[in-house]
Structure 1
């Protein structure tokens, strides 16, 4: 079941007041601590934003930041990618790893756009039917091109949401974890969905890390279920 904005409808969202507190604290932190990347600047194109998200999958943001100018010098547009081939794109992407899947994904996206005369597919189902385009890249297109409230849900964002809201994983694969998606969409229910996505990604990268050590200094700890339930005061 889906609503008119292509947002998956799974479980009931958490209490509005809990989500609101999380969102407010998160954005207050983000206003002082957000990471600065080229693809986040105001005048950058959606092409650069979406390409960056393809490259960011399972790769540190700092690595992508250093590599992006090289990629854009060779492929400045979707048209440039569409006129290339998988081997050429892959050869450029090899330093990042996962180069074959990224090459397939970028080329398939470029050809789809070219086939549609520059228009993007409108639905998640259409986007995810494109070769090597999964949930994350489809969400990036929906977020940046169609201004939908789509979460860029990766392992780091999942860790943050599971900890704060005490979500017991329903599935090991976050793509199919319904409670996790419900809360991710609830967080994006109001406010700027792009900034909220970046705030969650930054908070997970800088504060709510995999290793212990960030809980005591965390601005969200007063309402965080992970902190409240942890026997270790520093998690």
Structure 2
């Protein structure tokens, strides 16, 4: 059983990552204010298992060509697969986007606030549901993927379960980290940090939290 997480360590991590993000964070079209719910959700769906820089080049034109749930729902699946080939995973993405769009058309674009109903929407899943809560409903939810998981586990300690969706320790930790008045920025900071510094092969000499990082300390011993 892991020892309880120190509130001091969590606050230290949040503050240092926000400081880093202010100076070194990335800028993407889906992080701008004033986007529609559709535009936010499409971005998060495209981002899954793909580098943000790849989607950033592709996303603006996608939104022009498919400006609404209705436009996406009425798209021929094979044509959409061809359209999505440049960003990979095109068959999975096409099916996910069209099914999601068709459901949202049925719902007249309205997103339920009840978590169980939100996750019942086809291909919504835990990650997109968290993104909806965070970005659309302004709730402190974590964008937990393999990248965020890597950063949190290195600093605070590893999870036990292979699937991050069901690991109680990682899920509880991520919610504690996201529980901040700048929850969006905390999430973006961790994702950017994972891409630029805390990579699979980390650049520990550039890390602002290395003196308290469990992984860095263990490597230094």
Correspondent of 1:126 among 117, 130, 137: 117
Q: Following the alignment from structure 2 to structure 1, what is the Cα–Cα distance between the partners of residues 220 and 211?
A: 15
How far does the alpha carbon of each residue in 1:32-77 deviate from its partner, in whole angstroms, 9 at most, with x for none? 0010111112233332222111111111111101111221121012
Does 1:70 find its partner at 2:55? no
Following TM superposition, by how much is the alpha carbon of 1:13 offset from its aligned partner in structure 2, in angstroms? 6.3
Aligned to 2:201: 211
| Correspondence 1:226 to 2:179 | no
**Separation in 1 of the partners of 2:120 and 2:76?**
20
CA RMSD of aligned residues (A): 1.9
**Structure 1 stretch displaced more, 197-206 or 92-101:** 92-101
* Structure 1 residue ranges without an equivalent (≥5): 1-10
| TM-score, normalising length: structure 2 | 0.91
Q: Are residues 1:186 and 2:173 paired?
A: no
User: For residues 49-198 of structure 1, what are the structure 2 equivalents within 5 Å?
Assistant: 49-166=40-157, 168-198=158-188
Give the secondary structure class of the aligned counterpart of 2:205: coil
Give the Å deviation of 1:28: 0.4
Q: Distance in 2 between matches of 1:72 and 1:183?
A: 34
Q: Which runs of 4+ in 1 moved over 4 A?
A: none
Residue aligning to 1:5: none
Rounded Cα–Cα distance in structure 2 between residues aligned with 1:221 and 1:114: 47
Contact 1:104 1:131 in 2 (8 A): no
Relative distance call for 1:178 and 1:157 in structure 2 (3 A) is same
Distance 1:120 1:200 in 2: 27
Contact map agreement 1:50 1:141 (CA 8 A) in 2: yes
Larger relative helix fraction: 2
Cα separation, 2, equivalents of 1:104 and 1:123 = 25
Which ranges in structure 2 are unaligned for 5 or more consecutive residues? Answer: none
TM-score, with length taken from structure 1: 0.86
